[in-house]
């Protein structure tokens, strides 16, 4: 799936849920968090693969043994800071990304070994993602976008953690 498709697959159910449950549209913050969660695996894994550090672009963040602890940490932090709704939004976006990449195989009853890496070995893959290339998203631009986005989020998270630590110590 392309990044836009991942975002839509996550935003549609979250928006429907919020409309039905709260009778309002999601906030801009919620939409941003869900979108970030929905592309988070590609923000990390695609540039790492492009740098030839992994065999292909669906390794670490596309694997349940990595995704589950990340989601638990995000939900734990969100619970402690009274923002469980945002932590849940990120988690839904992230967790919907994984079957989104493998929907055809999953619908055929197959569990791709990549979803369980490093508990299973990764088979050889044919090359870059279908959405890379001269007529699609340029991987160099995607990598730059990924680094900038992850840096901004890391700085923002650092500031938030610092604020939360100050609040808890006073």
Q: What share of the chain is helix, strand, coil (3-state, %, to 5)?
A: 70, 0, 30
- Count the neighbouring beta carbons within 10 Å of the beta carbon of residue 122: 17
pLDDT level of residue 80 (50, 70, 90 thresholds):
very high
**Can you give the pLDDT at residue 130?**
57
Give 32's DSSP letter.
H
**pLDDT above 90: percentage of residues in the chain:** 65
Judged against a pLDDT cut of 90, whether residue 18 lies above it is answered with: yes
Instruction: Indicate the pTM of the whole model.
Output: 0.88
pLDDT in tens, 116-158: 988 888 776 666 555 566 666 677 888 899 999 999 999 999 9
Q: Which two tokens stand for residue 158?
A: 């650092």
């Amino acid at each position: 799936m392309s990044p836009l498709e991942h975002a839509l697959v996550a935003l549609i159910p979250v928006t429907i849920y919020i409309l039905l449950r709260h009778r309002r549209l999601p906030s801009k913050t919620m939409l941003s968090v869900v979108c970030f969660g929905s592309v988070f695996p590609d923000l990390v894994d695609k540039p790492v693969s492009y740098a030839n550090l992994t065999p292909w672009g669906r390794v670490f963040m596309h694997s349940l043994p990595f995704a589950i602890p990340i989601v638990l940490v995000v939900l734990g932090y969100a619970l402690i800071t009274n923002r469980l709704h945002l932590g849940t939004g990120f988690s839904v976006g992230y967790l919907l990304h994984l079957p989104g990449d493998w929907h055809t195989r999953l619908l055929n009853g197959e569990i791709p070994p990549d979803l369980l890496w490093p508990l299973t070995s990764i088979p050889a893959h044919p090359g870059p993602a279908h959405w890379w290339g001269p007529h699609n998203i340029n991987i160099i631009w995607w990598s730059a976008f990924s680094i900038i986005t992850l840096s901004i989020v890391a700085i923002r998270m650092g500031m938030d953690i610092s604020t939360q630590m100050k609040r808890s110590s006073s």
